[in-house]
Amino acid sequence: MPDNELASTTEVAEQDGAVVAQIGGVERAAILMLALGEKDAAELLKHMGPKEVQDVGMSMASLTNVTTDQMEAVMRHFVATLEKQTALGLGSDEYIRNMLTSALGEDKAGSVIDRILLGRNSKGLEQLKWMDPRAIAELIRLEHPQIIAIVLSFLESDQAAQVLTQFPERVRTDVVMRIATLDGIQPNALKELDEILEKQFSGASNVKSSNLGGVKTAAEILNLLDGAVESKVMEEILEADADLGQELQDNMFVFDNLIDVDDRGIQTLLREVASEQLLLALRGADEALKEKIFKNMSKRAAEMLKDDLEAAAPAKLSDVEGAQKEILQVARRLADAGEIMLGGGGDEFV
C-alpha cells in the first residue's frame, strides 16, 4: 500500500476512533441495528438474551439526530473489530415492532415491545426475565421470603435489584440474606415453582439449572441497588449476621475498586462508556482513580475531561451513584466475557 494511502487510512481510523469513543456500546449496537435493516437486525437479535434485547431496543427507540459521520464511523469500527475476530458469535415504532416480532416471535416480542415502547407474556420462570420489575414484585409480593429469594436468584442481577427496591426495608434485608445463604435448589422444587408460575402465565418452561443463589449472587444484586438502599440493607445484614455481612462486603465490587483493574482493562472499559456518563461518575471518585482514568486516555481527551470536571455544575449524589453503577455493569459484562479482569473483589468476579 502506498505511503499516502496508509496515512489516509490511519487518519480515518483515528477520526473514527474519536467519534466512536463519544458513543456508548449499547448506542453503537443500536445504530448498527438500524443501519442493517429489519431482516438482518432481527437475525442478530435472535442470538441475544432478554436484557440485551431490551437495552438495544430501548436505545433504538430513543435514538435521535444520528449523523451520517456517526453511522459510517460505527459501521467501519464494527467491520474493523470483526476483522480481528475468528467468528461472529427508521427508529419508528413500526420498524421496532416488526424487527422484534421477526426475531422473537409474537409471544416474547409482545412483552419486550410493551416495555420498550410502553409496559406483558413468555413462560414460567423464563417469562419473568421479560417482565417489568414492578410487575414481578407485585406477582411475588405475598410469597414466602424464601420463594422471593429463589425468584430473584433466577433473574439477572440488575433486574433483581430493581425488583428488590419495590419491597419494604424489612423484606429486602431478609431476602438478600436468604439469597446469600441459598445453596442451590432441588430440581424438583424448582420445577414445581416453575409450574406454579406457568399456570399463572398459561405457559410452559424448561428449567435447565438449579444452581441459584449464594453470596456472589446476593453481592451482585446489592451492587446494583441505589446507594442509600444498599447502605441500609448492608447495615441491617451486618447487625443480624456480622460474618455473612463481611462475606458480602468482600464480594462486592464498588466504583473505586476500578483502580485495581490493569491499564489495558481500563482502556477496554473506557471504549464502552459514553463520555457524559464518565464525566458524571468521576464527580464522586477518589483522586487516585481519576488519575488512573486520565492516564489511560489520550492527552487531549484527558485534558478535555479535566476541564469539563472543573467547569461542571453541581450534580445530585444519586445521579453520580447511578452513573457509577451503570459503568460497573459494563465492567462486569466485560469481565464475564473475559475481556477485562476485575480486582479488589476476589476471584469470584473474574
| Full DSSP string of 214-226 | -HHHHHHHHHTS-
pLDDT tens per residue across span 158-203: 888 889 989 988 889 899 998 888 876 766 666 767 767 766 655 4
Of 86, 117, 148, the one marking the end of a domain is 117
Which one of 55, 90, 117 terminates a domain?
A: 117
Residue 344, pLDDT score: 41
- What value does the mean pLDDT take over residues 196-224? 62
b/e per residue, 191-212, with b = 16+ CB within 10 A? bebbeebbeebebebebeeeeb
Residue type, 292: K
Question: In 3D, which of 46, 197, 49, 52 has the Cα closest to residue 128?
Answer: 197
pLDDT confidence of residue 256 = 82
CATH of the domain at 264: 1.10.220.30
For residue 302, what are the domain limits?
Answer: 256-349
Cell of 28: 453503537
Mean pLDDT for all residues in the chain: 75
pLDDT-derived band at 293 (thresholds 50, 70, 90) equals: very high
Residues 6+ apart with CB under 8 A from 240: 173, 177
Residue 198: the pLDDT is 65
Query: Looking at the structure, do residues 193 and 300 belong to the same domain, yes or no?
Result: no
C-alpha distances out from residue 159 to 123, 136, 163, 184, 249, Å: 17, 10, 6, 20, 20
Final residue before a domain boundary, out of 97, 117, 137:
117
85: confidence class by pLDDT, cuts 50, 70, 90? low
Same domain, 220 and 331: no
163 lies in the same domain as 206: yes
In this structure, the answer to whether residues 48 and 158 fall within a common structural domain is no
CA distance linking residue 269 with residue 261, whole number of Å: 10
Residues 6 or more apart in contact with residue 322 via CB below 8 angstroms: 226
Q: What is the pLDDT of residue 113?
A: 62
What local confidence, expressed as pLDDT, does residue 292 receive? 92
pLDDT number for residue 83: 58
Residue 230 has pLDDT above 60, yes or no: yes
260 and 247 inside one domain:
no
Contacts of 86 (CB under 8 A, 6+ apart): none
Count of helices and strands (H, E) across the chain = 20, 0
Do 218 and 130 belong together in one domain? Answer: yes
Joined grid coordinates for residue 321: 451513584
Task: Give the chain's largest Cα–Cα span.
Answer: 72
Q: What percent of the chain is modeled with pLDDT above 90?
A: 4
- In angstroms, the CA 308 to CA 26 distance is 24
pLDDT value at position 110?
A: 61
Task: Identify whether residues 268 and 246 lie together within a single domain.
Answer: no
Q: Which amino acid is at 85?
A: Q
Do 51 and 78 fall into the same domain?
yes
DSSP 126: H
Rounded Cα–Cα distance for residues 16 and 19 (Å) = 5
How much is the average pLDDT of 25-44? 79
pLDDT band at 208 (very low <50, low <70, confident <90, very high): very low
- List the Cα angle 196/199/200 in 5-degree steps: 90
The Cα–Cα gap between 24 and 156 comes to 21
Which residues in 30-115 belong to E strands, given as ranges? none
pLDDT for 124 beyond 70: no
Q: What was the pLDDT predicted at 13? A: 56
pLDDT above 80 (res 155): yes
Q: What is the mean pLDDT of residues 114-121?
A: 45
Does residue 264 sit in the same domain as residue 324?
Answer: yes
Whether 281 and 331 map to the same domain: the answer is yes
Residue 193 is predicted with a pLDDT of 74
DSSP annotation of 135 reads H
Contact 283, 312 (CB under 8 A): yes
Q: How far apart are CA 332 and CA 251, in angstroms?
A: 13
**Residue bearing the bigger pLDDT, 87 or 171:** 171
Stretch 139-157: mean pLDDT:
84
pLDDT at 154 over 60: yes
Least confident of 214-218, 280-284, 346-350: 346-350
What contacts 249, CB < 8 A, 6 or more positions away?
A: 234
Shared-domain flag, residues 97 and 10: yes
258 has a pLDDT exceeding 80: yes
Q: What is the pLDDT of residue 93?
A: 63
Task: Enter the DSSP assignment of 337.
Answer: T
Number of domains in the chain: 3
CB 121 within 8 A of CB 151: no
Give residues with Cβ within 8 angstroms of 237, minimum separation 6. 173, 176, 177, 180, 244, 245, 248
* Between residues 210 and 263, the one the model is more confident about: 263
pLDDT for residue 117: 53
Distance CA 51, CA 330 (A): 13
Asked if 77 and 163 sit in the same domain, the reply is no
Instruction: Give the per-residue pLDDT at 219.
Output: 82
